[in-house]
Amino acid sequence: MKDRFDLSGRRGIVTGGSSGIGYAICNVLAEAGATVFAISRTGAVKEGLAPSHANVTHLAGDITDRAHMEEIIAQIAAGGPIDFLINDAGITKKCRAEDFPMEDFSHIMDVNVTALFSLCQLCYPYLKQSVHKGRIVNISSMAAHLGFSLVVPYCVSKSAVCGLTRGLAIEWANDNICVNSVAPGWFPSEMSKQVMTPERKAAILARMPVHAFGDTEDIGAMMLFLLSDAASYITGQDFAVDGGALAYGF
């Protein structure tokens, strides 16, 4: 079984890899032997974080700029195969729905949905040729399944990510590509800090059976599984890593 989780020789892309969940994903996959290309706006690890694993290369790029992404992906592919794409980059904004600026709504959709679909399209011809079976894993959210106040457009975008995941999984099932998504619970990240208040923190912890925030490496471990040979028969699924929050009843 140990060999089934070895990612040696595999190469792929992680967006939003400069901090938080994306940063942890990059390091976990690199430790398992993968060569990881982390794309973020800065192209560098956020200040205060340890350097990434030696197998991680950071690249600067705007995922909403399709022409630029096409160039970056072609450069990566020129050095070897592309076996996986992990779409982690995302944004949100806190505002009541009736006051939410439409330009901000559009920007959230552009980053969280349109850019994600565009990257899947651009990577498709390379993933299709992977000798390990190509993998796409999208970061969804509990907000794809539950309603949260002050972030309605984010909820909309993450619901769309789940729909996109299922659609691509079916359409590309015979093209040597598995497509899944992971719905994180509450983990330390720059995005979660934007909407965190003492009152919200208390409510969140009370709503989770384990009453604790997660470790970002838990998401990395789930990604390792979904990219490994052990998950070659899994596609079209959304996996919650949330301390039981989505299962919690009343």
How far apart are the C-alpha atoms of 219 and 233, rounded to whole Å?
20
The secondary structure of 165-204 as a DSSP string is HHHHHHHTTTTTEEEEEEEE-S---HHHHHH--HHHHHHH
Residue 197 predicted with pLDDT over 90: no
Mean pLDDT, residues 190-213: 76
- Answer for the pair 77, 126: CB distance below 8 angstroms, yes or no: yes
Predicted local confidence at residue 28, as pLDDT: 98
How far apart are the C-alpha atoms of 15 and 199, rounded to whole Å?
31
Residue 107 predicted with pLDDT over 80: yes
Mean pLDDT, residues 73-86: 98
Smallest Cα–Cα separation from 28: which of 217, 173, 180? Answer: 217
Task: Walk me through the domains of the chain, giving residue ranges and CATH numbers.
Answer: 2-245 (3.40.50.720)
Active-site positions? 154
Mean pLDDT, residues 85-89: 98
Tens of pLDDT, residues 134-180: 999 999 999 999 999 999 999 999 999 999 999 999 999 999 999 99
How far apart are the C-alpha atoms of 44 and 243, rounded to whole Å?
30
Smallest Cα–Cα separation from 184: which of 45, 248, 53, 88? Answer: 88
Mean pLDDT, residues 26-43: 98
Predicted local confidence at residue 204, as pLDDT: 78
Predicted local confidence at residue 193, as pLDDT: 62
Residue 250 predicted with pLDDT over 80: no
Predicted local confidence at residue 136, as pLDDT: 99
Smallest Cα–Cα separation from 27: which of 112, 115, 86? Answer: 86
Structure tokens at 109: 């959709």
Estimate the crossing angle of helix 152-171 against helix 115-127, to 10 degrees.
Answer: 20
Predicted local confidence at residue 199, as pLDDT: 80
Place of tokens 């794809």: 144
Structure tokens at 124: 């498709």
Model-level pTM?
0.94
Predicted confidence band of residue 212 (pLDDT cuts 50, 70, 90): confident
